[in-house]
Amino acid sequence: MLLEVLLAVLILICVGAGIGIALNLGESGVLTGQAAWHHYYGTWIGAKGLSDKIAPVVEGAANLMASFGLPLALGVTLMGVFISSFAGTTLDTAVRVQRYVIGELAYDLKIPLLGSRWIATSFAVVTAAGLAFATGANGKGAMKLWPLFGTANQLLAALALLVVTIYLKHRGGQWYLVSAIRHLMSESES
């Protein structure tokens, strides 16, 4: 969770300060500061495509790397590799976890055929592809699950804060109040 927080802070720095450094629009010129920020965030970015959502992170990080002396093109390339690697490892982990769940369910339900790692993996991939293409060939069917993922992530964070609060309360002292207040604040936000 701490690494996830660090990643979130880095992304905020990239899309905030990094974009403000300079945004090269080609023949249209270069935007800096608030003008660069409003280029990406002047409209509701959630309605745009995936490339418009990733571009501020890539551009911002490349600008930050350029301020340390790396060529801008190298920064864009590195960020492209990082984002692709992040997506690839996330997909690998998701399929692996789904395979384990299918294997355990197969064991509990006494379906030995689904217990095979090859068949369980194939089942996981086929069902994920079915979900991705459930709304058509555009592959956006899985985006129906995104709000559910966000909800589960917030519930997990609230549970972690609750566990930390209980642990600190049992240790004694007043430090538990810090996580308890944050837990109450997160409950009121949702």
The residues, any chain, with a CB within 8 Å of residue 63's CB and separated by 6 or more, are 18, 19, 21, 22, 23, 72, 75
Q: What is the pLDDT of residues 46-70, one digit of tens each?
A: 556 666 677 788 888 888 888 888 8
Q: Answer for the pair 137, 155: CB distance below 8 angstroms, yes or no.
A: no
Provide the residue type at 110 as one letter.
K
Q: Give residue 123's pLDDT.
A: 92
Q: E strands within the chain?
A: 23-24, 30-31
Q: How far is CA 1 from CA 84, 109, 161, in A?
A: 21, 33, 11
> Is the model's pLDDT at 190 over the cut of 60?
no
Cα distance between residue 75 and residue 19, in whole Å: 13
**What is the percent of the chain with per-residue pLDDT over 70, rounded to a whole number?**
83
84-114 residues labelled b (16+ CB within 10 A) or e (exposed): eeeeeeeeeeeeeebbeebbeebeeeeeeee
Contacts 24+ apart (CB under 8 A), 51-55: 54/83
Q: Answer for the pair 141, 132: CB distance below 8 angstroms, yes or no.
A: yes
Q: What is the pLDDT of residues 101-160, one digit of tens each?
A: 999 999 999 988 888 889 999 998 898 888 778 777 776 766 776 677 778 878 888 888
Of residues 168 and 179, more confidently modeled: 168
Assign residue 33 a region (left: φ > 0; alpha: ψ between -120 and 50; beta: otherwise): left
Neighbours of 175 (CB within 10 A): 13
Of residues 31 and 114, more confidently modeled: 114
**DSSP state, residue 69:** T
